[in-house]
Amino acid sequence: MSRCSARPGAVVAIAVATLLGPLTVHAAPRPIAIAIVIDDLGYNAAETRAATQLPGAVACSFLPDAPYTHRYADEAHARGKEVLLHLPLAPIDARKAQPQPLPTGAPDVTRNAELTRMLAAVPHVDGVNNHQGSLATSSRPAMRWLMHALLLHHIGYFIDSYTSARSVAYPMARAYGMPSIRRDVFLDNTATPAAINAQFDELLRQARHHGYAVAIGHPHPATLKVLAQRLPQLAAQGIVLLPPSRLIAHYEPAPQPATVALRYSGRLHAPPQAPTTVASDAP
């Protein structure tokens, strides 16, 4: 006895399926998503500790030479949070450079050595975002060099903190095939609870409009308090907090593949070579 004769309804189902043709299965819509990075960590122990203890997948970005960076980068990693190097880059006003930025105009050997040192100063680095950098991120040669160097260090992603409207860091990262995203909202340029709540609302507004958004904040007591209050409310609002790597991988449009000439042969002291080909969106 065939299965069809044992189950007469199956014959009807097969006939209907034949008439209708193949079924189209629609994937469930992606949830609205945000990522949040807390910058400038490592100088104040209490504030840095509090940032690593925020609920959810808040990422922690550490300055390389801060006294508490190593300890709390370890702690953030142990708590399952993504760790970033908050890479000091040159601002337009050199008098405001603090701490000492990566030397933009130095010989390649000097820049390579300093970048390697900064990366080594922050354990468990998943990604990099820029500290200051209004001058450096607006320089195409500087960003070509940086993205090429970060690829050689196997850095997972780059977040353009977007400290200047002239920044080319994000398109240059995409041109080199580096997973990347650009900051949408600063949470605490004005570090009062009312202003931070308003910026958090703006983050959610942009996320609802675009499907996702990225915010950067700092370990101000008011920022940490607002986040501790509002992050647990996200699920009820239909919004998911993701680590930056997952937000970039699942929400950010993938760059066109770039073939970069990695001609170091493992020698990071050698100057980066120009890419043989870059993506169509290369600046």
- pLDDT (mean) for 167-189: 96
Q: What is the pLDDT of residues 221-261, one digit of tens each?
A: 999 999 999 999 999 999 999 999 999 999 998 876 554 43
Q: Is the Cβ–Cβ distance between 82 and 59 less than 8 Å?
A: yes
Residue 20 has pLDDT above 50, yes or no: no
Mean per-residue pLDDT of the chain: 85
Q: What is the pLDDT of residues 79-98, one digit of tens each?
A: 999 999 999 998 876 666 66
Distance from C-alpha of 41 to C-alpha of 52, rounded to nearest angstrom: 9
Q: What is the pLDDT of residues 140-165, one digit of tens each?
A: 999 999 999 999 999 999 999 999 99
Distance from C-alpha of 88 to C-alpha of 3, rounded to nearest angstrom: 69
- The CATH class for the domain spanning 32-250 reads alpha beta
Cβ-in-10-Å burial (0-12, 13-18, 19+) of 97 comes to middle
Q: Name every residue whose Cβ is closer than 8 Å to that of residue 190 and which is 6 or more positions away in sequence.
A: 196
C-beta neighbour count of 80 within 10 angstroms: 9
CA of 45: how far to CAs of 49, 96, 151, 225, in Å? 6, 23, 31, 16
* pTM, 2 dp: 0.81
Residue 99 has pLDDT above 80, yes or no: no
**Spans of all domains in the chain:** 32-250
The share of the chain scoring above pLDDT 70, in percent, equals 78
Query: Measuring CA to CA, which residue among 198, 237, 188 is closest to residue 36?
Result: 188
